[in-house]
Structure 1
Amino acid sequence: MAAASAAWLQHHAAGTPQWWSELAAAGAPLRERLADGNVRVTFLWRDPCGGPATSPTVRVYADVNSVTDHHSPQPQSLARLGETDVWWWQAILPADWRGSYAYIPVSAGQTPPAPDDDVRASRQRHREWWLSVMDKAVADPLNPACAYRSSWGASLSPLHLPDAPDQSAWRAWDEAGQGADPRRLTEIRWDSAVLGKARRIWVYHTGDISAGQWAERPLAVLLDGQRWAEQLPVFAALDEDTRRGRLPPAVYLLVDSMDGRNREQDLPCNDAFWQALQSELLPQAALIAPFSARPDRTIVAGQSYGGLAAMHAGLHWPERFGCVLSQSGSFWWPHVELHEKARAASGRRLPGSSGWLAERLASGATPPGHLRVFQEVGSREEVMVDVNETMRIALEHAGHEVHYQLFEGGHDWLCWRGGLLQGLACLWRPLAVL
């Protein structure tokens, strides 16, 4: 145990109100740089019911993105410190790691089911157990940064290790929850006759330009727009990087994916969705905040299924979407069995794996064009690294310009929020700031 964490955990007053007060002032999790450059992270949780004599809590599971394993029959739990109300666990991580985490305290009878010889049935029972305890997930009250909501509604805390990529543009939201400048934000409703559904759209514009320059302002279409509008609001970060000169004044369309069922319909390579967006939404939004029609000034950005969708849009409508920002794109689609194969494989990697979009690209079935692409994936995303690497190779062989990177982390919106701003700046770098 490193010296700083040992001083806390071996202190004679550990678990007393004074000890917790001092720990809250110091902030948690505790982070200690080791001699090899890695960081020892000490996660700490206070049992509200006290020590084991008075508390029903038998486990406090640590759900740390890309670090703890959801598939393990015995998920990682913190350990109780003696007879105190202190629960703790330590992990050693690369200094450039970033990720979301939560604690899941459970009582007797709420621990995972024991596996048996039927592997498939055991996995299904384990998955159902995870879903059953997710509503117990809590953010870390000792973490001073703003908590935020996961896709299933649980509260998450952010953890940024000291060498993680810069996300300083997010400081106003992290420290004070600052949202959009209301003078720049308009929420509209897109009633699509083509798709037969209606959804929310957030139209946001940044920077100050003269009236005559509005039509040249670049455009970014952000998929899963409800994430960037409500769960991890991107507006103040966009304003900050525009103020710094890292981004040009621009118009942003945040497109709500509505729910899981509609997301699975619209985002995996759905031509009708993109045709409707071009014929219906773009003209409607342009009445509020005019923007350029030039493909080299237009970015379509997405994560996971959205990363797949963004690439599909660029490859099939390069005359409108000349820049693609894809983060952890689900390029395995539609070969869902890849995940099962990877789980059974040593290291959960399957080099050379690909899906429909890369196969079409490699065969020459996509329209000609020259896209500018920013593509990233987390180094801990297992087979997702392989399908993204296959996609990168196919793009480069087809003559597209690709900026590709691995980040130290997982399938995590906390990581993607930094890559989103980095990708916007990379793709718009040739533009002079208006």
Structure 2
Amino acid sequence: MSATGSDAWWASKKGPEWVAAASGTYRVTFWWRDPAGTQATSRVQRVWLYITGVTDHHRQASPHSLQRIADTDVWFAEVELESRWRGSYCLIPSENETDFPPDAFASPPDRIALREGWRKLLAHAIADPLNPQSWRGGRGHPVSALEMPGAPPQPGWGASETPFNEPHCLTWHSARLKNRRRVWVFTTGEGVSADRPLAILLDGQFWANSMPVWPALASLTTQGQLPAAVYLLIDVIDNTHRSQELPCNEAFWLAVQEELLEQVRAIAPFSDSGENTVVAGQSFGGLSALYAGLHWPQRFGCVLSQSGSYWWPHRGEGQDGFLIEQLKKGALQPHGLRIVLEAGVREPLIYRTNQALLALLEHKPVTIEWRPVDGGHDALCWRGGLTAGLITLWHSLSRTA
């Protein structure tokens, strides 16, 4: 047996390892190799473990650090996860003994202290060097993927080698919004039929660059689980524009309808039918998708909302979010919308407000499917929900229907 911390021992490590626990959960061990060696030669005092929805501020749990095995370059931590859990994580080596204010270690920990501590630390996060499944997450820092054996399937995402049509990348100059941004137009299937349905994916830069969605969509189309379609991915420009344009912004959606759709149609014809037009988004994008469907159901008849920020604009203030308030007042009367509503059980505020929204929509003349997910505010969960949601909303159009 190789000595702990030897080159041969490290060669056997391929990322987190887990064993089944008697409770039906899994005990997961995370490893990190200190490039500076042992405690005698390294200045590293902490290796913070940030697991979305488990050790982050959403959980309101004290910050979690790996521990060094004395006189080795080995750091490790054990965490218990549910059998259906899926999510991303990152490591944050630090030369400080404590990077959080004392309130972060109170009982219970102060959520603001946790949020601020993690916000500063995440700028120094690294992906797990032992895990080849890594990317740059939606918040801009590197993350790695982890899923337990019981995690639900993610349609299309195992087909990374599937050939696909090259997407068109355009620049949209908006007169109404007085800005410009990239958009991507992607088509699946053969031919250029004007009967193809349209799907608009918000936060398009993520699905185009950080976690390219093209092979998954192409594979599912080839399999007949999705129809031949046109996909429009819209860049957010930057976080400032994202926070202004996505939360319930009429001007943004008027610009999409009056300016962008005709520009896209000239490249890739699609159906005018709102009945099969999908708007899909996550977080602020999920809020925006439902806003579009509620206000222009004749154009955007299908909504795929994942981890929608329905608390907006009252984060943690105990007040109804804007859309929930409007629905309660009767200011919005949706008719005929088809909605897939998804939220993670490990994102408490968002999960709670999604349930409040669901309770209102269930009494409206809409078709709605509710999907709770054992995960957090996490793109690794969203990618499977995105393709599964498209399959649900376009079921009547696919070859397997």
Q: Secondary structure at the match of 1:319?
A: coil
Work out whether 1:271 is the aligned partner of 2:261. Answer: no
Work out whether 1:373 is the aligned partner of 2:344. Answer: no
- Percent identity among equivalent residues? 47
Tell me the distance in 2 between the aligned counterparts of 1:252 and 1:364.
33
Map 1:275-354 to 2 at 5 A. 275-338=254-317, 354=320
Corresponding position of 1:91: 79
Once the two structures are TM-superposed, the CA of residue 172 in structure 1 deviates from its matched residue by: 4.0
Deviations 1:370-407 (A, max 9, x none): 10000000011112112101111211211111000100
Tell me the distance in 2 between the aligned counterparts of 1:282 and 1:180.
26
Tell me the distance in 1 between the aligned counterparts of 2:163 and 2:44.
40
Once the two structures are TM-superposed, the CA of residue 124 in structure 1 deviates from its matched residue by: 5.9
TM-score, scaled to structure 1: 0.86
Aligned partner of 2:185: which letter?
Answer: V
Bigger relative CO (Cα 8 Å, ≥ 6 apart): 2
Work out whether 1:76 is the aligned partner of 2:42. Answer: no
Aligned partner of 1:70: which letter?
Answer: H
Answer whether contact 2:274 2:301 (CA < 8 A) is retained. Answer: yes
Q: Which of 184, 190, 194 pairs up with 1:202? A: 184
Corresponding position of 1:42: 29
Tell me the distance in 1 between the aligned counterparts of 2:223 and 2:299.
28
Q: Secondary structure at the match of 1:337?
A: coil
Map 1:149-298 to 2 at 5 A. 149-167=136-154, 169-173=156-160, 181=164, 183-209=165-191, 211=192, 214-298=193-277
Aligned partner of 1:282: which letter?
Answer: L
Aligned partner of 2:125: which letter?
Answer: A
Map 1:110-149 to 2 at 5 A. 111-115=99-103, 127-145=115-133, 147-149=134-136
Corresponding position of 1:20: 10
Tell me the distance in 2 between the aligned counterparts of 1:165 and 1:46.
31
Answer whether contact 2:46 2:97 (CA < 8 A) is retained. Answer: no
How many corresponding residue pairs? 397
CA-based RMSD: 2.4
Tell me the distance in 1 between the aligned counterparts of 2:330 and 2:101.
49
Tell me the distance in 2 between the aligned counterparts of 1:368 and 1:328.
20
Answer whether contact 1:362 1:398 (CA < 8 A) is retained. Answer: no
Tell me the distance in 2 between the aligned counterparts of 1:100 and 1:55.
27
Tell me the distance in 2 between the aligned counterparts of 1:73 and 1:366.
38
Runs of at least 5 residues in structure 2 that lack an aligned partner in the other structure: none
Aligned partner of 2:182: which letter?
Answer: R
Q: Which of 387, 390, 394 pairs up with 2:356? A: 390
Work out whether 1:105 is the aligned partner of 2:93. Answer: yes
Deviations 1:235-260 (A, max 9, x none): 11111111121111110000001111
Answer whether contact 2:45 2:97 (CA < 8 A) is retained. Answer: no
Answer whether contact 2:57 2:111 (CA < 8 A) is retained. Answer: no
Aligned partner of 1:421: which letter?
Answer: T
Corresponding position of 1:4: none
TM-score, scaled to structure 2: 0.93
Answer whether contact 2:225 2:398 (CA < 8 A) is retained. Answer: no
Aligned partner of 1:355: which letter?
Answer: G
Aligned pair in 2 of structure 1 residues 312, 35: CA closer, same or farther (>3 Å)? same
Answer whether contact 1:306 1:326 (CA < 8 A) is retained. Answer: yes
Aligned partner of 1:67: which letter?
Answer: V
Deviations 1:173-206 (A, max 9, x none): 4xxxx6983x431011111111111111000001
Answer whether contact 1:73 1:114 (CA < 8 A) is retained. Answer: no
Aligned pair in 2 of structure 1 residues 56, 273: CA closer, same or farther (>3 Å)? same
Tell me the distance in 1 between the aligned counterparts of 2:212 and 2:364.
36
Corresponding position of 1:63: 50
Work out whether 1:359 is the aligned partner of 2:325. Answer: yes
Tell me the distance in 2 between the aligned counterparts of 1:148 and 1:368.
38
Answer whether contact 1:179 1:234 (CA < 8 A) is retained. Answer: no
Answer whether contact 2:34 2:73 (CA < 8 A) is retained. Answer: yes
Corresponding position of 2:370: 404
Deviations 1:329-377 (A, max 9, x none): 1111121233xx6xxxxxxxxxxx7322122123321254210000000
Aligned partner of 2:225: which letter?
Answer: R
Aligned partner of 1:235: which letter?
Answer: W
